[in-house]
Amino acid sequence: METKIFTTNEIKQAAKLIQAGELVAFPTETVYGLGADATNESAVKQVYLAKGRPSDNPLIVHVADVATVEKYAQTIPAAAYKLMKQFWPGSLTMIFTLKPGVLSKSVTGGLATAAFRFPDNDATRKLIELAGRPIVGPSANTSGKPSPTTAQHVYHDLNGKIAGILDDGETKVGVESTVIDMSTAMPVILRPGAVTKSQIEAVIGSIENNHHHVGEKETPKAPGMKYTHYSPKAQVTIFDPTTDLTRLNEWLNQQTQAIGLMLSNDVKAKLTLNKNIETYSLGNNLQDASHALFAGLRYFDEHSEINTILVQAFENQGLGTAYMNRLEKSAGGSHF
C-alpha cells in the first residue's frame, strides 16, 4: 500500500478512511499523530502494529469537544473543567477514570483510565468532526524514534504501513503535550510538555510531578515513560553551554571523524568549528529549539557517516523541562 498524502482541502477523504477503519496520520500543534477510529478495536490494534509499539502503552484519545470526554469519563473534576477552559484546544492531555467498558482494552492498555486531548489544529478538528468519532493518536513515528514534526517524517517511518497522512506543514511546538493525571485526588504531571507546571498551577493550584526516569522492570504511571525514546541511529550526547564550551571547542577541534552538532545561533558564534563538524541550528531560543529538536535528530539520521551528535542543553524550567526530558531520553543519560 502506497501511503497517500492529503492536503487540507482533502480532509473529507481522510475522514472516510478513518470511518472505514484505516490509519491516517494527522497534524497537531505538538507533533503528528497516528490516527484511527478510537471505537474500532481492530483499527486501534493496527496502530500498535504499524508503530511497533508495546501493547501495554496506552493511546491518547483525541476529541474536538468536551461532550465526547463526558460521554466516556466516569468523573471529570471541577479542576479539569478549569484546565479545559484555559488550555483546550491545546497541548494538555488529561487522564480520567472511564465508565466501565466504554473503550476497548487496546486503547487503554487494560487500564481503568484513558487520556484525552483536544489538539489545536483546525484541519484535525475538522477531521475528528467529519469522522464523527474520537481518534486515537500516538505520535506517528516508528516506536523508539524521534516524534514526527512534518508529514515527511511520518512518510519516512510509516510509508506502506498506513493509508494516509493529512499534511498541514511543520508543527508549531515540536514537543508532545503535557500529560496530567486528573483521576487522583492530587493531579500529577506524568509527562512534561508545552503547557508548563506553573501555567497549570496558576489555574488550579498546587500539583505534583512524577516523570522521573524509571527502569524497564518498574511500572511507571504513564506506561510510555519506561521505553527507550527519541533515539536516532547515532549516539546523542548533551552539552551544557554554560559550563562546557571551552572543553567542547578543544574536543571538537581534535576530532577527525564527522560530528553532528545541534546548537543555538548565539552558542555557535562562540565556537571555532573545523569542516568535520556539521551543525544543525536550534534557532535563537528555547521555543525554536523545542521546535527543531526532533527534526534535527532525524536530519542526522539521514547522514549515515555521523555516529555522534552533540546537542545543547537548555535550562530545566518551563518549556525547558519538556525539552530536557526529551533530550535526556534521546541521549540515554550521556553528558559531555
Residue 119 vs 187, nearer CB to ligand TXA: 119
If contact means CB under 5 to 8 A according to the sort of partner, which of ligand TXA, Mg ion, none does residue 31 touch? ligand TXA
Is 57 within any annotated ligand binding site?
yes
If contact means CB under 5 to 8 A according to the sort of partner, which of ligand TXA, Mg ion, none does residue 143 touch? none
Residue 192 vs 261, nearer CB to Mg ion: 192
Residue 44 vs 225, nearer CB to ligand TXA: 225
**SS3 state at 12:** helix
Is 117 within any annotated ligand binding site?
yes
Residue 226 vs 248, nearer CB to ligand TXA: 226
If contact means CB under 5 to 8 A according to the sort of partner, which of ligand TXA, Mg ion, none does residue 191 touch? ligand TXA
Is 113 within any annotated ligand binding site?
yes
Which residue bears the cell 548565539? 266
- Specify the DSSP class assigned to residue 335: B
The three-state DSSP-derived secondary structure of 19-49 is: HCCCCEEECCCCCCEEEEECCCHHHHHHHHH
Is 7 within any annotated ligand binding site?
no
Size of the site for Mg ion (CB under 5 A): 1
Angstrom distances, CA of residue 109 to CA of 46, 58, 60, 105: 14, 5, 11, 5
Residue 106 vs 139, nearer CB to Mg ion: 139
End-to-end CA distance of the chain: 43
Q: How far is the CB of 271 from ligand TXA (least distance, A)?
A: 33
- Specify the DSSP class assigned to residue 55: T
Residue 181 vs 301, nearer CB to ligand TXA: 181
The correct pick among 93, 106, 124, 139 for binding Mg ion (CB under 5 A) is: 139
The verdict on 177 binding Mg ion (CB under 5 A) reads: no
Asked whether the bond before 89 is cis by omega within 30 degrees of 0, the reply is: yes
Q: How far is the CB of 193 from Mg ion (least distance, A)?
A: 11
- Specify the DSSP class assigned to residue 3: P
Q: How far is the CB of 169 from Mg ion (least distance, A)?
A: 20
If contact means CB under 5 to 8 A according to the sort of partner, which of Mg ion, ligand TXA, none does residue 58 touch? ligand TXA
The 10 Å Cβ neighbour count of residue 142 is 16
Kindly state the cell numbers that stand for 292.
527543531
Say if CB 101 and CB 83 are below 8 A apart. Answer: no
Burial of 332: CB neighbours in 10 Å, binned 0-12, 13-18, 19+? middle
Residue 43 vs 111, nearer CB to ligand TXA: 111
Residues that bind ligand TXA (CB under 6 A): 28, 30-31, 33, 57-60, 93, 95, 108, 111, 113-115, 117, 119, 137-139, 176-177, 179, 190-191, 221-225
Is 156 within any annotated ligand binding site?
no
| Beta strand spans in the chain (E) | 4-6, 24-26, 33-37, 60-62, 92-97, 113-117, 135-136, 164-166, 178-181, 188-191, 208-209, 235-239, 259-263, 277-281, 308-312
Half-sphere exposure of 115 (CA within 13 A, CB side): 27
If contact means CB under 5 to 8 A according to the sort of partner, which of ligand TXA, Mg ion, none does residue 329 touch? none
Is 147 within any annotated ligand binding site?
yes
CA distance 253 to 275: 9
Q: How far is the CB of 224 from Mg ion (least distance, A)?
A: 6
| Binding-site entries | 30, 53, 57, 62, 113, 117, 139, 147, 177, 191, 230
| Binding-site entries for L-threonine | 30, 62, 117, 177
Site residues for Mg ion per CB under 5 A: 139
| Binding-site entries for ATP | 53, 57, 113, 139, 147, 191, 230
